[in-house]
């Protein structure tokens, strides 16, 4: 473990700290050499994805008898944080797989669905979570995608936008309204195979950050989904989406902590080597104060994220804690990565140094899985019982 995160790591158990370090070592050996090339190409290497499965990072909470690691939500959060220190594009693949799709299946799938899908997620199948649409971002339940009953199943029609992992996914957890007259209570969750007729993966977005992570449009044109692929039961998609996203936001907080840690670590090294006016940059009090402020913000964000994850694992109420963790970590990551670019000066603005990519990657945290304003609204409602 490195000096820039030692204070917070001291609150981990021995096995947790070893796991964190193991993931960080894996990321340094297997991911770091390819980060810049993947970012420039806007695509993840297939061998990197394969290694995520081989290392057990794609089925962390899935029980061992279904091919997974039998770990905890907190383990998944630690893995996402560690991976994000090296490449947030890779960490978001692990995030969606574990904290959204696998999490939803673990909580709401029946025994047959668990046996059919969870071993695949552990072994070799990337998954994707398809909720957002052009007209339903923060208002996720204003969706227009429709599910119509058919003999033996349902027919889906509509479009989904900004769908993470869409390019690589073999399974999609798709939300569509099966009863528009019932409003959000008609929303239903479906597990859709990539090979399903009527499903098309559209264009990949050309993004500011997390560029190697695919973000695509999905088009459903009379796409048939068998009844046995309905998750939980018709009309329960609203509950599944809300509760899954509440948990997933903790993982986004972890991703932002990892991004900030990565940038901060590089900046610390640079300012202790770079000299101006005959002195190391690190010897100037103004720089030292900036470092102290960043370290404090980072520590606070780590502990907010870890506390929310602990609450979730213990089955205690965690909604306001998750919103606080996601909000603070996302805003903190933007501030800290920007300061790190400043500390490196001109070279920080080039892609020859990693901080530029950390800066670009951080911005998505204030947007996806609930914008910062949505987190503030959640926190305020919890505090004032609105």
Which two three-digit tokens encode residue 304? 């907010």
Which two three-digit tokens encode residue 250? 């903790």
Is 297 annotated in the active site? no
Contacts 24+ apart (CB under 8 A), 160-163: 160/130, 160/131, 160/132, 160/133, 160/217, 160/218, 160/220, 161/132, 161/133, 161/134, 161/217, 162/132, 162/137, 162/205, 162/215, 162/368, 163/128, 163/129, 163/130, 163/132, 163/215, 163/216, 163/217, 163/218
Q: Which of 217, 297, 331, 369 is catalytic?
A: 369
192 strand-pairing partners: 172
* Catalytic residue numbers, as ranges: 369
């Amino acid at each position: 473990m490195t000096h820039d995160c030692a204070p917070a790591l001291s609150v981990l158990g021995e096995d947790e700290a070893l796991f964190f370090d193991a993931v960080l070592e894996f990321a340094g050996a297997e991911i770091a050499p390819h980060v810049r090339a993947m970012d420039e190409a806007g695509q993840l290497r297939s061998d990197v994805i394969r290694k995520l499965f081989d290392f057990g990072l794609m089925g962390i909470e899935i029980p061992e008898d279904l091919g997974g690691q039998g770990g905890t939500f907190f383990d998944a959060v630690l893995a996402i944080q560690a991976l994000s220190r090296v490449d947030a594009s890779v960490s978001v693949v692990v995030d969606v797989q574990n904290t959204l799709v696998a999490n939803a299946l673990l909580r709401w799938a029946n025994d047959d669905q668990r046996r059919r899908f969870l071993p695949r997620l552990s072994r070799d199948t990337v998954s994707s979570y398809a909720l957002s649409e052009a007209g339903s971002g923060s208002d996720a339940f204003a969706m227009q995608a429709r599910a119509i009953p058919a003999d033996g199943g349902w027919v889906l029609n509509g479009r989904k936008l900004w769908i993470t992992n869409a390019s690589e996914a073999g399974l999609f957890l798709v939300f569509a309204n099966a009863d528009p007259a019932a409003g959000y209570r008609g929303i239903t969750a479906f597990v859709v195979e990539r090979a399903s007729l009527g499903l098309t993966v559209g264009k990949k977005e050309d993004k500011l950050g997390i560029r190697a992570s695919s973000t695509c449009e999905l088009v459903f044109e009379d796409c048939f989904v068998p009844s046995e692929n309905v998750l939980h039961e018709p009309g329960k998609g609203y509950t599944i989406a809300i509760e899954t996203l509440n948990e997933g936001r903790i993982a986004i907080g972890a991703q932002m902590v990892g991004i900030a840690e990565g940038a901060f670590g590089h900046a610390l090294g640079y300012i202790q080597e770079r000299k101006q006016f005959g002195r190391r940059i690190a010897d100037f009090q103004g720089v030292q104060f900036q470092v102290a402020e960043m370290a404090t913000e980072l520590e606070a964000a780590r502990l907010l994220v870890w506390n929310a994850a602990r609450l979730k694992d213990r089955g205690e109420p965690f909604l306001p804690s998750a919103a606080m963790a996601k909000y603070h970590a996302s805003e903190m990551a933007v501030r800290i990565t920007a300061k790190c670019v400043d500390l490196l000066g001109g070279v920080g603005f080039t892609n020859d140094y990693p901080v530029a990519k950390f800066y670009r990657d951080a911005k998505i945290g204030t947007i996806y899985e609930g914008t910062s304003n949505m987190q503030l609204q959640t926190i305020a409602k919890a505090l004032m019982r609105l």
